């Protein structure tokens, strides 16, 4: 699979936002978030999004799993210790067997304006409990049909 979407840098283009605070353990000696620590942040926001729309991840796992097939992340400006980060999430490019999630990570500046620190995309596929490819649940395919943002508003 190839990631087919370019994530927007405009927070208004996302249907959901999840806030995290950068922990000391996620940073290096200079207080900057290590590049590998962005991926757990995306995962936390994705799980919060699924919970928000009424499809918590633990329920999805009963029939299989949503494996991450590919990830793209663009670091625009470093995240730092103790910053509050809003992770904006939107569903994109849904097929019968795969879907993509777009992300924009923002931190508000002194004027309370969001500054984009990173953007990313995760591509996912559905697997059965024994690891074979499967079709996505019908609700997810339906949700991927425009205008899904009207049916699943932000939190």
Please check whether residue 99 is in contact with residue 55, taking contact to mean a CB–CB distance below 8 angstroms.
Answer: no
Please check whether residue 118 is in contact with residue 38, taking contact to mean a CB–CB distance below 8 angstroms.
Answer: yes
Angstrom distance (rounded) from CA 88 to CA 105: 6
Is there a catalytic annotation at residue 6? no
Q: Among residues 6, 10, 13, 28, which one is catalytic? A: 28
Owner of token pair 């926001």:
45
Supply φ then ψ for residue 140, to 5 degrees: -75, -40
Q: Which residues are designated catalytic?
A: 28
């Amino acid at each position: 699979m190839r990631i087919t979407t370019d994530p927007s840098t405009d927070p208004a283009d996302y249907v959901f936002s999840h806030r995290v605070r950068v922990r000391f353990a996620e940073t290096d000696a200079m207080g900057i978030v290590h590049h590998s620590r962005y991926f757990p942040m995306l995962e936390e926001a994705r799980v919060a999004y699924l919970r928000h729309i009424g499809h918590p991840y633990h329920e999805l796992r009963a029939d299989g799993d949503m494996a991450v097939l590919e990830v793209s992340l663009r670091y625009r400006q470093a995240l730092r210790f103790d910053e509050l980060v809003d992770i904006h999430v939107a569903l994109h490019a849904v097929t019968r067997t795969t879907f993509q999630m777009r992300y924009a990570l923002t931190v508000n500046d002194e004027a309370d304006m969001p500054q984009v620190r990173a953007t990313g995309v995760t591509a996912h596929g559905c697997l059965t409990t024994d690891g074979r490819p499967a079709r996505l649940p019908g609700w997810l395919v339906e949700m991927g049909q425009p205008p899904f943002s009207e049916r699943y508003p932000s939190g």
